[in-house]
Amino acid sequence: QVQLVQSGAEVKKPGSSVNVSCKASGVSGGSFSRFTINWVRQAPGQGLEWVGRIIPILDIPNYTQKFQGRVTITADKSTSTAYMELSGLTSDDTAIYYCARLYRTAFDIWGQGTMVTVSS
């Protein structure tokens, strides 16, 4: 059974960067490579917002325009882990960050979420 397990909560200062990991378990490295891993965030009391995605076998990320230049999504096929780095943090980046696998045309498996708090 495929699971996505994310790294723990982070507290960051404004202007700094955060790196969140998402490790797939119950899957071979070859299978992970063919996943499309998406990153979605949810600010407190708000809706869901897509950040970007990567297909490890292609190693080509896509980002929503809003985060261009501040976000970097990568994947390590050898460890079945995806990463999202967000730089230039402000208080508006305080949110839960989720990774999620694309299945056909929807996100069928989600990580447990990583709370990122930006505070001075």
Partner 1 sequence: EVVLTQSPGTLSLSPGERATLSCRASQSIKSTYLAWYQQKPGQAPRLLIYAASIRATGIPDRFSGSGSGTEFTLTISRLEPEDFAVYSCQQYDYSPWTFGQGTKVEFK
Chain residues binding partner 1 by CB under 8 A are 38, 40, 46-50, 62, 64-66, 98, 100, 102-108, 110-113
Q: How far apart are CA 59 and CA 104, in angstroms?
A: 19
Contact 99/4 with Cβ under 8 angstroms? yes
* Helix, strand, coil distribution of the chain in percent, nearest 5: 10, 55, 40
- The residue among 42 and 77 lying less far from partner 1, judged by its C-beta, is 42
Cα angle: 3, vertex 22, 99; to 5 degrees: 80
Minimum Å distance from CB 14 to partner 1?
25
Q: 20 or 100, CB closer to partner 1? A: 100
* Cα 9 to Cα 96: distance, rounded to the nearest angstrom: 9
Smallest distance, partner 1 to C-beta of residue 107, A: 6
Q: Nearest distance from residue 49's CB to partner 1, in Å?
A: 7
Distance CA 101, CA 2 (A): 10
Which CB sits closer to partner 1, 78 or 106?
106
In the complex, minimum distance from the CB of residue 120 to partner 1, in angstroms, rounded to a whole number: 26
Nearer to partner 1, 16 or 62 (CB): 62
